[in-house]
Amino acid sequence: MVDAPRPGSWTVGTVSSTHPETPSGRSIWIDVPGWPGNIAGQHVDVRLTAPDGYQASRSYSLASSGPEPRLQLAVDKLPDGEVSPYLVDEIQPGDMLELRGPLGGWFVWKEEQTAPVQLVAGGSGVVPLVAMIRAHAASGSTAAMQLLYSVRSPEDRFFADELGALDNVTYAYTRSGPTDAVIGRLTKERLEAAVLPVGASVFVCGPTGFVEAVASWLVDLGHDAGLIKTERFGGA
């Protein structure tokens, strides 16, 4: 595996392909020559520049990890957003954008971490956790790792085929889902039933409110706050 490289300055990436993931989200692969490699869980800053020089930057997690200079992002569109609608609806192969990273040395999973791992995702918060699932599988690690994925409906699942082929993923549908499933926002009780027992290392990622709720329930359930790592994507 790679060590955390220093993020440095902006570098240009070229979109190589895109793939719809959900009705409102898609994956984007970006070639970044000279990419120093990244650890599962890290993110990049993406900067867009309009013809008049106006710039907007946002952070996006990487679904990819390791030395490959081809990065995978997966972006969910906020209807009134500035950057995410462009990335989901507009950008095409061949387009260039600027990136800086990899960023974040805390919300990461490395194969030398041997504790059992519980991942908890809300919506597009699954992106850095998928990087961890992939890195875990590639490393042959024997540490247990499982994912609880809270998402509006089955159609809204990112990486649906890939995760669907795994047996260590539990879904919590908040709006609609299979008739035999419990539908509705996650509760402390459902969380407790779905996660690994106290002692596991836990990664929680998603909208800020989701992360706040899950992290405080975990502490209530007896999980050590020092073993819970969180990444908040923003919003309420």
Partner 1 sequence: MSIFTRGFSGRGRENNPALPPGQYLTEDFPVLSAGPTPNIHLDSWQFTITTETGVVHKWSWDELMALPSEDIHTDIHCVTRWSKLGTTWRGVSLDTLFEGVETDYNYVMEHSYGGYTTNAPYEDLRDGKAWIAHTFEGKPLDPEHGGPARLLVPHLYFWKSAKWITGLTMMKNDDPGFWEQNGYHIYGDPWKEQRYW
Residue whose CB is less far from partner 1, 91 or 172: 91
Q: What is the largest CA-CA distance in the chain?
A: 54
One residue of 31, 36, 37, 59 binding partner 1 per CB under 8 A? 59
Note whether 18 binds ligand FAD by CB under 6 A.
Answer: no
Note whether 133 binds ligand FAD by CB under 6 A.
Answer: no
Note whether 49 binds partner 1 by CB under 8 A.
Answer: yes
Q: Which of residues 19-58 bind ligand FAD (CB under 6 A)?
A: 43, 58
First to last CA, the chain: 35
CA distance 41 to 108: 4
Q: For the chain, where are the E strands, in sequence order?
A: 11-22, 25-31, 43-49, 55-61, 70-76, 96-103, 117-122, 145-151, 169-173, 201-206, 228-232
Q: Which helix (H) or strand (E) holds 120?
A: strand 117-122
Q: Do 214 and 204 meet the contact criterion of CB atoms below 8 Å apart?
A: yes
Stretch that binds partner 1, among 16-24, 97-105, 139-147, 190-198 (CB under 8 A): 97-105
181 backbone dihedrals φ, ψ, rounded to 5°: -95, 150
Residue whose CB is less far from ligand FAD, 23 or 222: 23
Q: Which helix (H) or strand (E) holds 17?
A: strand 11-22
Interface with partner 1 (CB under 8 A), residue total 46
Instruction: Select the binding partner of residue 61 from ligand FAD, partner 1, none (C-beta < 5 to 8 A, by kind).
Output: ligand FAD
CA distance 49 to 81: 16
Q: 215: alpha, beta or left, given left = phi > 0 and alpha = psi -120 to 50? A: alpha
Residue whose CB is less far from ligand FAD, 98 or 231: 231
One residue of 38, 84, 201, 230 binding ligand FAD per CB under 6 A? 84
Note whether 127 binds ligand FAD by CB under 6 A.
Answer: yes
Note whether 208 binds partner 1 by CB under 8 A.
Answer: yes
CA distance 104 to 95: 26
Q: Do 80 and 54 meet the contact criterion of CB atoms below 8 Å apart?
A: no
Residues that bind partner 1 (CB under 8 A): 4, 6-7, 10, 12, 48-51, 53-59, 82, 86, 90-92, 95-98, 100, 103-107, 208, 212, 215-216, 218-219, 225-226, 228-230, 232, 234-236
Residues near ligand FAD (CB under 6 A): 43, 58-61, 74-76, 78, 80-84, 124, 127, 207, 231, 233-235
